[in-house]
């Protein structure tokens, strides 16, 4: 049995850091283990211009504790008013690493997202021209579509037509949750990749609903059937470079999660690497963990892997706080439901 594993320092290709007091509290939990992260732009108001992205990046760096090294990779929130040349200028400046597409109403703070995809076609074409990736929340918001089918329907109705109409557009399907998405990614060319979250490798929809509603397992896209979870585990541990880690770690205070209309999101930043080591060990794939956490993502984004390393050691159960305190209130840490024996040294 392997008791020690050294990896290039990982990156997180989908992260919510929020702002203000919440940012100050959760940022160290990611910066402790991750060198870089694609930072989501769905603040209120959203990060829609280069000025917004620059100001948000500065707030993140100002909140970084002394002695911690962490690079926020900024994104712009795509709206129907986004100008292609503004996106190109922000990319040329080195300010942004991607553009984020939220279908309007799909998830937290997505009201300013896209309803009419024809209105953003020029932006897609410019992004294909300059090689700027599009990060996609892949769900339709049609109320007639069952919430458990929204990812599969999005692929057919939106994503595949957009990609066919825009050759060369590099797309990341974020937080995929279905075997349909896995099959689509593996059937396409190398301009398409997908991130997989930690929690979707661990939970299925029974964890949210069976035996009572467990709001701290509620996320969007919502966890699906067990067969889909197993498909995700196979993809993540397969060594296929089109799949890489995006935690979608999304902190909300306990009152916001436990209310009559609770917020979607799982806060996984503190224990993600311990959970992933457990999952990959179960699948007999510890040798592929570095690819998933540290190599595949940089390769897709055209960035070098990190030079620094981290070591995980297997031993006694690793303690993890149930909650962290923030200036906005307590935030519950994702509970995988099993003891964790891999510690990040």
| Domain regions of the chain by residue span | 4-344
C-alpha closest to that of 184 among 154, 205, 140, 209: 154
Point out the residues of the chain with pLDDT beneath 70.
1, 109
Beta bridge partners of 171: 134, 192
Q: What pLDDT shows up at residue 56?
A: 98
Pairwise CA distance, residues 215 & 331, whole Å? 12
| Helices then strands, each counted (H, E), the chain | 13, 13
Distances in whole angstroms, Cα of residue 18 to Cα of each of 40, 44, 66, 326? 8, 9, 20, 12
Concerning whether 345 is annotated as a catalytic residue, the answer is no
Of the residues 11, 240, 248, 335, only one is catalytic, namely 248
For 4-344, give the CATH class. alpha beta
Q: Which residues contact 164 (CB under 8 A, 6 or more apart)?
A: none
Q: What pLDDT shows up at residue 59?
A: 98
- Cα first-last separation, the chain: 18
Number of other residues whose CB lies within 10 A of the CB of residue 263:
20
Q: What pLDDT shows up at residue 109?
A: 64
Pairwise CA distance, residues 79 & 189, whole Å? 27
């Amino acid at each position: 049995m392997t008791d020690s594993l050294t990896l290039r320092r990982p990156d997180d290709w989908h992260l919510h850091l929020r702002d203000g007091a919440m940012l100050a509290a959760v940022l160290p939990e990611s910066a402790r283990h991750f060198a870089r992260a694609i930072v989501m732009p769905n603040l209120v108001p959203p990060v829609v211009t280069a000025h917004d992205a620059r100001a948000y990046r500065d707030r993140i760096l100002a909140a970084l504790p002394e002695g911690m090294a962490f690079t926020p990779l900024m994104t712009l929130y795509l709206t129907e008013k986004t100008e292609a040349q503004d996106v190109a200028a922000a990319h040329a400046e080195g300010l942004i690493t991607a553009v984020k597409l939220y279908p309007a109403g799909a998830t937290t703070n997505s009201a300013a997202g896209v309803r009419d995809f024809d209105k953003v076609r020029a932006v897609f074409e410019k992004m294909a021209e300059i090689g700027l990736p599009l990060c996609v929340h892949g769900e339709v918001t049609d109320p007639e579509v069952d919430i458990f089918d929204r990812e599969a329907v999005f692929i057919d109705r939106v994503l595949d037509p957009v990609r066919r109409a825009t050759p060369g557009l590099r797309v990341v399907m974020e937080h995929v949750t279905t075997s349909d998405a896995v099959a689509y990614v593996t059937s396409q060319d190398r301009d398409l990749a997908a991130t997989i979250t930690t929690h979707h490798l661990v939970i299925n929809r029974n964890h949210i609903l069976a035996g009572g509603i467990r709001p701290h397992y509620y996320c969007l896209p919502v966890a699906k059937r067990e067969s889909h979870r197993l498909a995700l585990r196979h993809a993540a541990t397969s060594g296929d470079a089109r799949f890489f880690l995006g935690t979608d770690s999304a902190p909300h205070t306990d009152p916001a999660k436990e209310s009559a209309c609770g917020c979607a999101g799982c806060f996984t930043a503190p224990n993600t690497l311990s959970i992933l080591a457990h999952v990959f060990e179960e699948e007999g794939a510890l040798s592929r963990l570095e690819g998933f956490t540290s190599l595949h993502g940089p390769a897709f984004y055209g960035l070098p892997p990190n030079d620094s390393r981290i070591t995980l050691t297997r031993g006694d159960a690793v303690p993890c706080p149930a909650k962290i305190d923030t200036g906005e209130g307590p935030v519950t840490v994702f509970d995988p439901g099993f003891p964790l024996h891999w510690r990040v040294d």
